[in-house]
Structure 1
Amino acid sequence: MPVPRIRQLVIAAKSLETADQLGELLGLGEPFIDPGVKEFGLENRVYAMGDQFLEVVVPMKDDAPAQRFITRCGEGGYMAIFQTPQLDAFRSRVDSMGIRRVWNIDLPDISASHLHPADMGGTIVSVDEARPLGSWRWGGPDWRERSVPGGLVSMAVETPDPDGLASRWALALGLIVDRRTLYVKDGAIIFREGPVERLAAFGIHVADRAGVLARAQDMGLDVDGFEIRFAGVGLSLLD
């Protein structure tokens, strides 16, 4: 069975200033603005790192799901998007588990399904199949020209029941749990104990870790070793 890959991680924020700060902090290129997210009551900025993506979404409507998330939890990790070459098999598997698909799209170059966070747990999960494999509609038509060196190597989900949630994600994604960790292609999903379920941290490979840490200090962000606290998410830097 094909192993999924982390392709895009998303932060929900109160304003686009957070997106600008993220770009400044990590030394990112020009972001893509996706008009399609208006369907969800959002505006966004999508930054390319290698062939992966960091996105900041900002609610434009009081009834947008992201606004309800921010009201309940504050700014923070909002969504994880995985890539698979076999979305039909994934859809069949989650349907058989009773996990609701709350949004589906099938376009010539990409298909995707969003899973209900109440069923999946932890965060909103999307699983997408891009055609061709190396493409990515959500990054914009010229994302390769805007990309900077780096990438996403891990994500951490906090929950009061890390063993139970890891097992559920493993079944849904077709993976095996190894000590509260699911190993995906080129990365890992780590489950750790916490008071509430949330997407708590991103592991990010950067070309200039010292430079990013220096900028974090200049911006007045909380820095602990190689982790920066940013918009409710721990950004763990790897060089």
Structure 2
Amino acid sequence: MMLPAVDWAQPWLAPYRTHGEAAAQAAHRTSVASALQALKAAPVPDFVHQDHLPAGQSYEAHIFQTRTVPTRDNLHDFFNGLVWLAFPEAKRRLNELQAAEIARTGIGATRGPLRDALTLFDENGAVLDAPAALWEALMARDWATLFVTRRALWSDARLLVFGHALLEKLVSPRKAATAHVLLPLPDADRSAALDDAALARTLAPGRLAQKPFVPLPVLGVPGWCADNARPEYYDDPKVFRPRP
């Protein structure tokens, strides 16, 4: 399997680089599933080829029931596997909630609010550890304050791209790439924001059904794009949209 070239020096790939480089090299000789399987440790489920998923079976229900992750030979599933390796507790929690909803309501034309939110975070989510002033500006969609006036505060901030579809998009970065950032719980400990077990504990169904996310164009983050060193980079209302 020949994966597209990935620039592992990009800052959003830092949590995944060690496993990613090793798995990408191995995938050239074998399948993506086998490359990921060689790197897994408990409590990560086994990675198996996509043909292990029976026809008509729900993907999320199958993972929950078999503790295996059907994996295709493509970049999307490659990044999904890397997130499983880096954040197994959070991924397992998302899967448990998806499987419980499928068992409760079945598979229909629409997912419903909880499964929509679970899928959104799994595919496109991010977690931000940042000073209160940055959170206030982000919530207000005050991009000038967030990225220009308060730019120095980003030295005390960390953004984790969790969603594997977003990681796939960022292989060919585009200015409009936007994460759905999970809002912190009131009085949450900042130091635990990017911790796997702590993140898993915040993924409560009642909270997620309310879609507690705020959009963040990730290439606006200082250091994530050379062009954003110029303040006028943010004068683009198609990307840095005002709050509705």
TM category, shorter: under 0.3
- More helix, by proportion: 2
Which TM-score applies when normalising by structure 1? 0.27
Which TM-score applies when normalising by structure 2? 0.26
- More strand, by proportion: 1
